[in-house]
Amino acid sequence: MNQLILQQGLSKELAHFPHILEFAHKKNNTIQLNSFSSNVADCICLYYILEGKFTWIIDSQEHTLYPGDFAMVLPGQCIGGQSSIMNIGALFWIKISTEDNGRLLLGKWSGLTKKEKVSVNQILLINKEQHVLKLKEAHALMHSLQAELQNEEVGFYTRANQLLDELFVLISRQFIRQNNSRRDFPQTFLKLEHALRQDLAHQWTVEEMATLIGMGTTAFTEKAKNYSGFSPLNYLINIRIAEATKLLKRNEVNITDIALNTGFYSSQHFSTTFKKLTGYTPTEFRKNKTTDQ
Partner 1 sequence: MNCIIIIEMGTAAVKVFAFDLSGNLISSAKGHYPTFHEQTDHSEQDPEQMFITMLYILKNLLIEKIYPKKYTVSCICFGSSMHSLLAVDKDGVPLGNAITWADNRGKKEAADLKASALGEEIYKATGTPIHPMSSLIKIAWMKNNEPEKFGLAKKFMPMKSYIIQQLTGACVIDYSIASATGLMNIHNLAWDQAALDFAGITPEELPALHPVFYSGVTLKKEYQRVLKLSPTVKILIGSSDGCLATLGAGVWGNNMATITIEDSGAFRIIGDRIIEDPKQQIFNYLLTEKHIITGGPTSNGGVIFNWFTKQFGDFPKAFDIDQSMEMLIQEAATVEVGSGGLIFLPFLHGERAPIWNPNARGCYFGVNIRHERKHFIRATIEGILFEMYSIGRTLEKHRHIEGLSINGNFASIPLCTQMIADIFNKPVSTLSHGDSIGRGAFLLSATEMGIYPSLEEASKTVAMHQTYYPKPENHQVYAQYFKVFESLITKVADEFDIISDLQQRYS
Contacting positions for partner 1 (CB under 8 A): 181-185, 188-190, 193, 215, 219, 223, 227-230, 234, 238-239, 241-243, 245-246, 249-250, 276-280, 284, 289-293
Work out how close the CB of 63 gets to partner 1 at its nearest, in angstroms, rounded to a whole number.
Answer: 18
Residue 92 or 285 with smaller CB distance to partner 1: 285
Amino acid letter for position 20: I
| Distance in Å, CB of 259 to partner 1, minimum | 16
Q: Which is nearer to partner 1, 153 or 252 (CB)?
A: 252
Q: How far is the CB of 93 from partner 1 (least distance, A)?
A: 32
Angle subtended by helix axes 156-179 and 114-126, to nearest 10:
50
Q: Answer for the pair 217, 209: CB distance below 8 angstroms, yes or no.
A: no
- Using an 8 Å Cβ cutoff, are 151 and 103 in contact? no
* CB 231, min distance to partner 1, A: 11
Q: Which C-beta is closer to partner 1: that of 147 or that of 237?
A: 237
* Contact present, 236 and 203 (Cβ < 8 Å): no
Q: Which is nearer to partner 1, 134 or 197 (CB)?
A: 197
d(CA 254, CA 277): 20
- Tell me the residue type at 170: L
Edge-to-edge strand ranges of the sheet holding 39-40: 39-40, 78-81, 54-58, 61-65
Rounded to whole angstroms, the Cα distance separating 48 from 54 reads 11
Number of neighbouring beta carbons within 10 Å of residue 64: 12
> Residue 288 CB, nearest distance to partner 1 (Å)?
8
Nearer to partner 1, 120 or 192 (CB): 192
